């Protein structure tokens, strides 16, 4: 499992995508970032929560709803102890889909329940409560670029040209980040 923290939302115009994303940074390796698309309205709310250090008023529109949720847990001697992102097989989609759960614990720190939530709830409550999001290895591996498919596609496009194995191997090492400067 890997812990990520919400950094901010920003506009992205990269690799054919043009829209707003929320950025999650890995705690153990801050240069490892995950980008998830969100609407501009949700991005504004997330960025506001990340910037503002003040207490939130219960009447503050959307944020007040989340504050009420937190307050109701606390009134029942429960608190948000973790946010977990994983994958689960969906028979409808015939593929794995993202599953997000809140781990709620009692006042002694014993897990009381797991509650399924959507992505926006997870991000906003992560920001409000300053709790990291745990991302499973299975989900991370599904999100990584498929280098084997890219390799097959590049071979199919260059099958008419002779290959110099050393150059191909060096290029693969560079693209995978496995080559190091020998200084």
H, E, C per residue of 31-49: CCEEEEECCHHHHHHHHHH
Based on the domain organization, do 6 and 81 belong to the same domain?
Answer: yes
Based on the domain organization, do 87 and 109 belong to the same domain?
Answer: yes
Question: In this structure, is residue 182 part of a structural domain?
Answer: no
Helix, strand, coil percentages in the chain from 3-state DSSP, rounded to 5: 35, 35, 30
SS3 category, 114: strand
Sequential pLDDT tens for the chain (183 residues): 699 999 999 998 887 888 899 999 999 999 899 999 989 988 988 988 888 655 555 446 778 888 888 999 999 999 999 999 998 888 888 888 889 999 999 988 899 899 999 999 999 999 999 999 999 999 888 887 765 545 545 554 444 444 455 555 555 565 565 545 444
Based on the domain organization, do 31 and 61 belong to the same domain?
Answer: yes
pLDDT score of 146: 66
Question: In this structure, is residue 41 part of a structural domain?
Answer: yes
Based on the domain organization, do 53 and 121 belong to the same domain?
Answer: yes
Query: Among candidates 142, 129, 97, 122, which has minimal Cα distance to 24?
Result: 122
Question: In this structure, is residue 68 part of a structural domain?
Answer: yes
Question: In this structure, is residue 32 part of a structural domain?
Answer: yes
**Domain interval for residue 79:** 2-143
Based on the domain organization, do 56 and 122 belong to the same domain?
Answer: yes
This prediction has a pTM of 0.72
Domains: count for the chain: 2
Residues 103/80, Cβ–Cβ less than 8 Å? yes
Based on the domain organization, do 6 and 25 belong to the same domain?
Answer: yes
Question: In this structure, is residue 183 part of a structural domain?
Answer: no
């Amino acid at each position: 499992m890997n812990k990520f923290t919400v950094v901010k939302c920003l506009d992205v115009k990269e690799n054919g995508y043009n829209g707003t994303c929320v950025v999650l940074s890995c705690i153990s390796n801050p240069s490892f970032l995950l980008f998830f698309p969100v609407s501009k309205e949700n991005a504004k709310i997330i960025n506001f929560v990340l910037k503002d250090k003040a207490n939130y008023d219960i009447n503050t529109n959307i944020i007040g709803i989340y504050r009420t949720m937190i307050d109701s847990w606390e009134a029942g001697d429960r608190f948000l102890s973790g946010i977990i992102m994983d994958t689960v097989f969906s028979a409808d989609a015939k593929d794995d889909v993202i599953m997000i759960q809140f781990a709620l614990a009692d006042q002694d720190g014993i897990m009381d329940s797991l509650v399924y939530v959507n992505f926006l709830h997870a991000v906003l409550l992560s920001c409000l409560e300053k709790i990291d999001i745990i991302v499973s290895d299975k989900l991370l591996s599904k999100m990584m670029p498929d280098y084997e498919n890219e390799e097959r596609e590049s071979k199919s496009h260059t099958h008419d040209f002779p290959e110099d194995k050393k150059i191909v191997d060096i290029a693969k090492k560079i693209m995978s980040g496995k080559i190091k400067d020998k200084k």
